[in-house]
Amino acid sequence: MNSSYLADSTSQRLGRRSVIVVVLLVVFALLMVQTAHISRSQTLAELERKTEADLNRYLLSVQQKFDRYKDLPKLLSGYSELASILPLPMNEQDRLRINFYLQDVNATIGASDTYLMNAEGETVASSNWALDRSFVGGNFSFRPYFIDAMKGQSGRYFALGTTSQQRGYFFSYPVYEAGQIQGVVVVKIDLNDVEDHWNDPMQDILVTDNDDVIFISTRPEWKFRTLRPLAAHERRRVVESLRYGAHDLDPLDIVQRDTLPSGSQLITLTDILDKNRDDQEVLTSRQYLKMSRSMPDADLNVTILASLKPVEQRMISALTHVAFIYVATVLLVMVLLARYRIVQQREDFQLREHRALEASEARIRAIIDNTHAGLITLDEQGLMRYLNPTAEKLFGIKADEIREHYFSQLLSEADRSVCWRHIMNDAPDAPDELTIEAQAYHKGRGWFPIELTIGRMEVAGERQFMLTIHDITERKLYEQRLQQARDALESRVEERTSDLRQINMRLLDEMSQHRHTQNELIQTAKLAVLGQMAAGINHELNQPLTAIRHYADNAKAFLERGRFEVVSSNLSEISGLTERMAKIIHPLKEFSRKSTGQSEVVCLKAVRDGAMSVMYGQLEKEGIEVSWPSGLEEVYVTADSLRLEQVFVNLLANAIQAMEGYENPRIDVSLTSSQSMIDISFRDYGPGINDPQRIFEPFYTTKTAGQGLGLGLSISQRITESLQGSLIAKNHADGGAVFVISLPMASIPGHIECPSPSERV
């Protein structure tokens, strides 16, 4: 039994130790990863700042060097002797005089070369005239700095000299004579000293052109290489310009690029950095921080490649220190734990109880001392016994300075009486706690607002008070700003509401005027249609009027003869003819009256019958057949019956006019539905629409003079839009035009029958 218990206990201890070891290893791994990340980030940020400062310093030095020389060609161009020998020197004496002058100038300004070219680009004088690499007689008209100067501009250009094969930067300026450009003066400077002055072994300087070709570098093997592979046309352009002579312009082997949030890049560069014992080249990959800046005036880009070795070294150092501290801490904790266990085993039960009590009191004291609220205890008389550190900070005093003093001296006069009444109130029903906002005094910064809570408590049979104090300065400021913001917002809302109310009233007036104008246009269009129908209706009425007169005369004659049955028959015929005339006139009355403008449930059959009763005379005259879909009596839409009838009449009239002169004219009307909309299509077989985008513009018409004002389709579109629908126009694939009306579908009312035209009077 005992051996089994000991075995289980040993197994449990081993299990706990294994878990502790695993936890320690996991914590160690996480700590190393976090340390590496933080160290690398901080060191990389420092490296970025240093690199940026160095880059700015280098840019400033290069810019200063350029600034010393950029205006010298312009200054030299003003020397009258230069223009006097252009385009070619008159004699050898003139040539020598100018050569000596340029030689003296070049020695004074410290330039590499100074020379003069005529308008054809031939060098007529140069500071190096006496040297083997003399520019005299050379033609550099292909150089961009010459081309720019001949255009009247200052020229700048970097290239290898075609004669000297030395790198140089060229400044040029035109030479004028009698207002005409006679030649170009050029100053060439040497940039070799720019890379000689840079001696930081952890940084490499690269200066590139706009094609990313490196022409200045602290690494000689990188000169005349590129930061990126050049496209075929870019390489061909650079080679043909002779800017870099016969160099191959191979790109640096950058195998990886990572962009940092600051815009800099981390690159991995593979290059030949060493040789082995067999004198064979060894490729080595290194990481760099790449930071670039441009010099717009010089068309140059300056790049610094800072080695990441300091970052790696700092990270390794940080990892080493953290690992040492961690191991030392773990060992120290293990030693302390082992010693604590030994001490615990030797302690007596009573000592452990006593220490537990002390630990409890210590925890309470720590909580009181470290709370964010100020705590003060008062005795029964209101004298301060204890102040925690937060209270000392709140009032700017030390506890020893104010202990055994009245707390009320820290409050304003107005708040003291409230606190004293609560402290001195010893009635049984007195509240145990009082919370107020008061003004307190800070020894250094004066009065400030606090939230004060006074609570009663019993300690060893003695009545005491616990004061809890919170500084509410920020809260008061926030409340004040909030109130100001609320007042400002209410003021803006009131102003905006007033503006919106005025705007709304103006919009309502404009809408009322717009509806009135639209209704007048619709009525005008109706009257125009009525005018067109007048001739046809006159013809229709003449026939029944003639018949009525004939039947009336006959009835009179037969009445005199006493043949009453014939008279009755003639009167019946006259009654029928008058009914026919009423049906002819009814569409005019119905079509001409104004609409109420209110949408209602409308049967499409009634709209069709109304439109056809208006247009039947013109359709019959033109011999046009209208094909309507079946079942219109079961189709209802939400619309204004008279206004929708006007749209139908306008579309039919438009189709009739479009098919004038066409054989077998006809109009096809089709009906489709989708969800909550009904589409009614009117197709004619005319020439179609030349410009569907403009067909609905007011006063746009393709009709001949006297056939209309071009308002019918525009009014029809506005009517359909006011009915929550739409009207569009397009050309049919087989010829002719198609007008599609889309209207909201209405449910079929069970108690309403589709009315005939005569029932709508």
Banded pLDDT at 667 (limits 50, 70, 90) = very high
Encoding tokens for residue 147?
Answer: 């081309």
110 and 174 fall within a common domain: yes
Q: Say what the pLDDT of residue 174 is.
A: 92
φ, ψ at 124 (rounded to 5°): -100, -20
Measured CA to CA, the distance from residue 449 to residue 470 in angstroms comes to: 9
Q: Say what the pLDDT of residue 60 is.
A: 78
Scored b (16 or more CB within 10 A) or e, 344-380 reads: eeeeeeeeeeeeeeeeeeeeeeeebeeeebbbbbbee
When pLDDT is averaged across residues 28-34 and rounded to a whole number, the result is: 84
β-partners of residue 679 are 672, 742
669 and 707 fall within a common domain: yes
Is 302 a domain residue?
Answer: no
Q: From residue 759, how far is each of 320, 575, 583, 594 by CA, in Å?
A: 103, 20, 11, 18
Is 756 a domain residue?
Answer: yes
Q: Between these two residues, 473 and 276, which has the higher pLDDT value? A: 473
Q: Strand, coil or helix: what is 247?
A: coil
pLDDT at 228 over 80: no
Measured CA to CA, the distance from residue 14 to residue 6 in angstroms comes to: 12
685 and 554 fall within a common domain: no
Q: Between these two residues, 469 and 458, which has the higher pLDDT value? A: 469
pLDDT at 742 over 80: yes
Q: Say what the pLDDT of residue 700 is.
A: 62
Measured CA to CA, the distance from residue 43 to residue 38 in angstroms comes to: 8
Banded pLDDT at 706 (limits 50, 70, 90) = very low
Highest mean pLDDT among 221-235, 595-609, 628-642: 628-642
Answer with the one of 140, 157, 190 that is the final residue of a domain: 190
DSSP letter, residue 142: T
Per-residue model confidence as pLDDT tens digits over 747-761: 776 555 676 544 443
Measured CA to CA, the distance from residue 25 to residue 18 in angstroms comes to: 11
Nearest residue to 95 via CA among 106, 112, 81: 81
Non-local (6+) Cβ contacts of 473 within 8 A are 448, 449
3-state secondary structure 75-91: HHHCCHHHHHCCCCCCC
Measured CA to CA, the distance from residue 284 to residue 595 in angstroms comes to: 91
Highest mean pLDDT among 63-67, 581-585, 631-635, 680-684: 680-684
Per-residue model confidence as pLDDT tens digits over 383-437: 887 788 887 787 888 877 777 888 777 888 778 777 888 787 777 777 878 888 8
pTM (global) more than 0.85: no
Measured CA to CA, the distance from residue 525 to residue 519 in angstroms comes to: 10
- End-to-end C-alpha distance for the chain, whole angstroms: 115
465 and 495 fall within a common domain: no
CATH number at residue 130: 3.30.450.20
β-partners of residue 168 are 159
Is 347 a domain residue?
Answer: no
Nearest residue to 149 via CA among 185, 98, 110, 200: 185
Measured CA to CA, the distance from residue 170 to residue 70 in angstroms comes to: 9
Instruction: Determine which of 55-64, 245-254, 408-417 has the lowest per-residue pLDDT on average.
Output: 245-254
The H or E element that residue 545 is part of is helix 473-561
Q: Say what the pLDDT of residue 731 is.
A: 92
pLDDT at 52 over 70: yes
When pLDDT is averaged across residues 658-679 and rounded to a whole number, the result is: 88
pLDDT at 54 over 80: no
666 and 700 fall within a common domain: yes
Measured CA to CA, the distance from residue 578 to residue 548 in angstroms comes to: 8
CATH number at residue 709: 3.30.565.10
Measured CA to CA, the distance from residue 523 to residue 529 in angstroms comes to: 10
Is 174 a domain residue?
Answer: yes
Please give the share of the chain, as a percent, with pLDDT higher than 70. Answer: 78
Encoding tokens for residue 528?
Answer: 């125009």
Banded pLDDT at 447 (limits 50, 70, 90) = confident
Q: Say what the pLDDT of residue 761 is.
A: 33
Q: Say what the pLDDT of residue 681 is.
A: 94
Measured CA to CA, the distance from residue 407 to residue 341 in angstroms comes to: 47
Amino acid occupying residue 347: E
Banded pLDDT at 539 (limits 50, 70, 90) = very low
When pLDDT is averaged across residues 169-185 and rounded to a whole number, the result is: 87
Q: Say what the pLDDT of residue 273 is.
A: 53
How deeply is 139 buried, as exposed, middle or buried, from its count of CB atoms within 10 A (0-12, 13-18, 19+)?
middle
Instruction: Determine which of 160-169, 336-345, 737-746 has the lowest per-residue pLDDT on average.
Output: 160-169
pLDDT at 341 over 50: yes
399 and 443 fall within a common domain: yes
Query: What is the average pLDDT score of the chain?
Result: 77
Q: From residue 134, how far is each of 89, 127, 186, 218, 630 by CA, in Å?
A: 17, 8, 14, 29, 101
148 and 167 fall within a common domain: yes
379 and 439 fall within a common domain: yes
Tell me which residue range forms the domain holding 387: 371-471
Q: Strand, coil or helix: what is 217?
A: strand
Is 705 a domain residue?
Answer: yes
pLDDT at 534 over 60: no
Residue 748: count other Cβ atoms within 10 Å of its Cβ. Answer: 13
Pairing status of strand 374-378 against strand 462-471: antiparallel
Q: Say what the pLDDT of residue 477 is.
A: 86
Instruction: Determine which of 121-125, 144-148, 369-373 has the lowest per-residue pLDDT on average.
Output: 369-373
484 and 451 fall within a common domain: no
Measured CA to CA, the distance from residue 568 to residue 564 in angstroms comes to: 6
Is 495 a domain residue?
Answer: yes
682 and 743 fall within a common domain: yes
Nearest residue to 143 via CA among 105, 186, 180, 176: 186
739 and 608 fall within a common domain: yes
Banded pLDDT at 705 (limits 50, 70, 90) = very low
Is 44 a domain residue?
Answer: no
432 and 495 fall within a common domain: no
pLDDT at 244 over 60: yes
Q: Say what the pLDDT of residue 682 is.
A: 94
Banded pLDDT at 740 (limits 50, 70, 90) = very high
What's the number of domains the chain is made of? Answer: 4
pLDDT at 78 over 50: yes
β-partners of residue 681 are 670, 740
Amino acid occupying residue 736: G
pLDDT at 669 over 90: yes
pLDDT at 4 over 70: no
Is 410 a domain residue?
Answer: yes
Banded pLDDT at 693 (limits 50, 70, 90) = confident
The answer to whether residues 641 and 602 touch, using CB atoms and an 8 Å cutoff, is yes
Banded pLDDT at 91 (limits 50, 70, 90) = confident
